[in-house]
Amino acid sequence: MKKIFLTLMFLALATAIFAQTLATINGKIKIDSSEVDGVFGNMLMRQGIMPSSLNMQDPQVVALKKSILENLIKRELLYMSAQNNVKGDIKKSVDAEYEKIKKTFKNEQDFQKYLNDRGLTEKEIKDNIGKNIILQDFVKSQSEKVNVSDKEIKEYYEQNKAQFKQQEQVRASHIIILTNNKDEKKAEETINKIYKEIKGGLDFAEAAKKYSEDGSAQQGGDLGYFSRGKMVQEFEDEAFKMNKDEISKPFKSRFGYHILKVTDKKPEKQLTYEEVKEDVKNIIVSEKTKKLLDDIIEKNRLSAKIEYAK
pLDDT in tens, 157-178: 999 999 999 889 999 999 999 9
User: What does the pLDDT look like over 106-127, one tens digit per residue?
Assistant: 899 999 998 888 778 899 899 9
| Residue among 135, 22, 9, 28 at smallest CA distance from 69 | 22
User: pTM of the prediction?
Assistant: 0.61
Percentage of the chain exceeding pLDDT 90: 71
Spatial distance between the Cα atoms of 217 and 208, rounded to a whole number of angstroms: 5
Percentage of the chain exceeding pLDDT 70: 94
- Crossing angle of helices 122-143 and 91-102, in 10° steps, is 120
Indicate the pLDDT class of residue 14, thresholds 50, 70 and 90.
very low
How many Cα atoms sit within 13 Å of 173 on the Cβ side? 22
- Over range 190-201, report the average pLDDT: 96
**Sign of the Cα pseudo-torsion (54, 182, 177, 235, in order):** positive
| Residue among 117, 134, 231, 132 at smallest CA distance from 174 | 231
Question: What integer pLDDT is reported at residue 241 of this predicted model?
Answer: 95
User: What does the pLDDT look like over 55-76, one tens digit per residue?
Assistant: 888 898 899 999 999 999 999 9
What phi and psi, each to the nearest 5 degrees, are found at residue 85?
Answer: -110, 5
- Over range 280-299, report the average pLDDT: 97
Indicate the pLDDT class of residue 7, thresholds 50, 70 and 90.
very low
> Are β-strands 269-270 and 256-266 bridged in parallel, bridged antiparallel, or unpaired?
unpaired
Indicate the pLDDT class of residue 18, thresholds 50, 70 and 90.
low
Indicate the pLDDT class of residue 85, thresholds 50, 70 and 90.
confident
> Domains plus CATH for the chain?
2-149+279-308 (1.10.4030), 168-266 (3.10.50.40)
